[in-house]
Amino acid sequence: MLRVLSALLLSSALLWAIDYAERSTQELIVSLHPGGKNIAVILHELKKREPAMTPKEKRLYRKKLKELTDVEKK
């Protein structure tokens, strides 16, 4: 019984997990802000996409990275 309950809870949690791969690059960049959730996961996804980013997306991405690192230095 406990195993079945655990399996159900785990499977329902996986169904509600956020799939960042399905979000647009712009959405991911905008979601990067100090104190935000899942920053490491978002940064990983953006790093994979960086070669395909437009120049505008790259500028915004680098600006957001700088903001994050500036906050970490304080």
Q: Which residue has the tokens 């960086």?
A: 50
Name the DSSP letter for residue 1: -
Q: 48: number of CA atoms within 13 Å, CB side?
A: 9
User: Which of these, 28, 67, 60, lies nearest to 44 by C-alpha position?
Assistant: 28
Q: Given this model, what pLDDT does residue 4 score?
A: 54
Domain ranges of the chain: 19-73
Give the side-chain half-sphere CA count within 13 A for 33: 4
HSE-up (13 A, CA, CB side) for residue 43: 13
Instruction: Note the pLDDT tens digit of each residue in 8-28.
Output: 444 444 444 567 788 899 999
pLDDT of the residue at 13:
45
| Residues comprising the chain, all counted | 74
